Structure 1
Amino acid sequence: MSKPDHSIDQRLLDSAKEEFLANGFEKASLKIICENAGITTGALYKRYTGKEELFNAVVAETLSALNDFVAAKTQVDEKFLSDNELIAAWDMGEPVMMGWYRFLYAQKDGFFLLIRCSAGTRYADFQHDWVDNMTGKTYNYFLEAYKRGLAHTEISRKEMHILLTAFWATIYEPFIHGYTWDEIVAHCKIVCNLFNWNRVLGFEELG
């Protein structure tokens, strides 16, 4: 009795990632994916119902990492933060921003697939959906600061979504344009000078 070839699974995912990165989901060829993985289409369909489920499997690890990273940053209820901690939550200086860029660069292939190659999948609106998700928690932080009299600019949730869309575009774009790590480091310095959330939200310095 022959033993199952467990190497197929990783070869298939590696081949699929390569094809999706090169051509995007819609133009990607299952035939080419199978040929490059050295498997039959039958072997593929034993594992996945079709191209979209295969794409979902390729980006699953990145999505899990993204969700875990955000959860770790937002696990504390804003109501239990001190005034100083609530203001510090808006610090997007270089150390904080570099943390984001290091994390995303480690996930760059999966991140690129989500933001650039996912048309035709459930993640086609990933950029908008990601910002909308971030807006929910971020706006709660703002409302708490405003309620305490720490922030003095009136901002609606819709306005916050627009501001975060602009902010996240500066994070997406280096990956879309294939920046090297050195280019990202230089870009980060520029972005930190571009966005000053304390000024935008009208925070006052605490002693």
Structure 2
Amino acid sequence: MTKYTETQRKILEVGKEEFLAKGFKDASLRGIVKAAGFTQGAFYGYYPDKAALFDALVSEAADTLMEQFKAAQRAHYDLITEEKTAQSQELSTDYLNYFINYIYDNFDAFKLVICCSEGTRYSNYVHELVELEVSQTEKYYQQLRQLGKVEGVVNHDLHHMITSAYFTAVFETVVHDMSREQAIGYVNELAVFFNCGWSGLLRLK
């Protein structure tokens, strides 16, 4: 766990409040420093600019979720070698519950990423997740098709649209400040809806 000085902790606390209230683009470095009660020189002793401060607030949570998501993709490929592909949608739902709990364990960081990150390297975070999901899932279903476990074919553009709608919907829990309990119920119903749709389109065996 990262250890912070009292000065650094105060900068992070005030910075988070400023970014949540105004978003990255409209947040004022001068305002952050003033509210924290320090000089700009003190700030620069820790962070070279407000982008670095934003990154310090979100990078660990956002980057970890991305890596966990990649691990989930690899786990689906393991189902092929273990001849358990019928469990694919169940595995996806299990991971979804893990992800939503991780998001709520780091709620402020994801609120910043989803709602306040315009102008930062995280502004396309959801899009990056969608692109990764589409790319890996297409390869996965291609392998299942070769094994005779999938009959249907989904156009790439449609696949991207459906996946984008799914991820946008999942992160609506953060946008609308739902409670953890509400979010878990919401995304599990969402998973049922999308799983039924995918089953109909792909005609899984």
Q: TM-score range by the shorter chain?
A: 0.7 to 0.9
What letter corresponds to residue 141 of structure 1 in structure 2?
Y
Specify every segment of 5 or more residues in structure 1 that has no aligned partner in the other structure, as ranges. none
Query: Cα 1:63–1:13, aligned 2, differ >3 Å: closer, same or farther?
Result: same
Does the CA contact (< 8 Å) of 1:78 and 1:141 recur in 2? Answer: yes
Structure that is richer in helix per residue: 2
What letter corresponds to residue 191 of structure 1 in structure 2?
L
Structure 1 partner of 2:139: 140
Q: Which range moves more in the overlay, 191-200 or 166-175?
A: 191-200
Structure 2 partner of 1:158: 157
Alignment length, in residue pairs?
200
Does the CA contact (< 8 Å) of 1:25 and 1:119 recur in 2? Answer: yes
Deviation at 1:76, TM superposition (A): 4.6
Trace 1:45-64 onto structure 2 (pairs within 5 A).
45-64=44-63
> Does 2:205 align with 1:200?
no
User: RMSD of aligned C-alpha atoms?
Assistant: 2.4
What letter corresponds to residue 71 of structure 1 in structure 2?
K
Query: Cα 1:127–1:93, aligned 2, differ >3 Å: closer, same or farther?
Result: closer
CA distance in 2, matches of 1:64, 1:151: 33
CA distance in 2, matches of 1:192, 1:120: 31
Structure 2 partner of 1:26: 25
Q: Which range moves more in the overlay, 19-28 or 88-97?
A: 88-97
Does the CA contact (< 8 Å) of 1:48 and 1:54 recur in 2? Answer: yes
Does the CA contact (< 8 Å) of 1:83 and 1:150 recur in 2? Answer: no
1:129-154 CA-to-partner distances (Å, cap 9, x unmatched) read: 22112222222211111221111111
Does the CA contact (< 8 Å) of 1:34 and 1:41 recur in 2? Answer: yes
Query: Cα 1:75–1:95, aligned 2, differ >3 Å: closer, same or farther?
Result: closer
TM-score under structure 2 normalisation? 0.85
- SS in structure 2 of the partner of residue 91 of structure 1: helix
Identity within the alignment, %: 26
